[in-house]
Amino acid sequence: MDMPSAQQAIASNKDAWDQSANLHKTTDTWTALLNSVGDADFSCLDPTLTGLLQDVGVAGKDVVQLCCNNGRESLSLFGLGARSVVGVDQSQAFLQQARELAAVSPHEPEFIESDIHHLPHSLLGRFDIALVTIGVLGWMPDVGSFMRHVASTLKPGGTLVMYETHPFLEVFDPRAQNPFLPASSYFQREPFVLQESIVYEGQGELAGPTSYWYVHTLGDVVSAAISAHLQISHLQEYPHSNREELYDQYEHQPAQLPMCFTLTATKRPA
């Protein structure tokens, strides 16, 4: 199979997310969000990310979340004292969900539809903190380009906060007969070609439009941050899962895999 160009992959992934959006509104999670997001101190953030953001210091800061999905994490930043929050995503359908949640919330985030590789000028050099969370890097054909665009949103001295799935997990197939047997190379360069809807919980494999998932090693991620003039101040790996429930089986093992990581980095003056 011929692999797509970066532009083709980005367009296919956008279409896959848009077409999967309605599936996310039929879940218990969506119902729970609608019932809880009206609280002034609402948060869907887990203790790991909450603690990291508290350490970095969100209170009184201008924050952008890149690839914000339905905005639930963006709305959670107000509970940590953020002065302003902007969520950016290329999926119009998920941003519609974000605006539905914001309409229930007492807070007023701004949501902007944009491919991160073509950010509007109004976002450049504007923010104290740029947040990137679970399941973003795998949709990016070029992690170096991604990091440069993330860095472009920060003021000098601004901080990237990242909480992501550990790329080593991509070696394993959680649906395989033996899910603990390595199924692919950690250093794989061609993307996984997916032909199923993008869902998180309890819906199994549903046919959907083609999308492309890329593996970027932890070394690739760190090097990309450095090349984007971001000075790394924190990098930590964890044994817990922060992704789909299928991956919970890899927790609490005698020989434990790294399952997620956090990274913070500061934008150096040009």
Tokens 């797509």 correspond to: 4
**In order of start, what are the domains of the chain with their CATH numbers?**
6-243 (3.40.50.150)
Whether the per-residue pLDDT at 248 is higher than 70: the answer is yes
Count of Cβ atoms closer than 10 Å to residue 151 Cβ: 21
pLDDT tens across 217-245, in order? 999 999 999 999 999 999 999 999 999 89
pLDDT bracket for residue 53 (50, 70, 90): very high
SS3 content of the chain, % helix, strand, coil (to 5): 40, 25, 40
What pLDDT was estimated at residue 205?
61
Whether the per-residue pLDDT at 203 is higher than 50: the answer is no
Whether the CA torsion 220, 191, 112, 47 is positive or negative: it is negative
What pLDDT was estimated at residue 201?
56
Q: Which two tokens stand for residue 2?
A: 């011929």
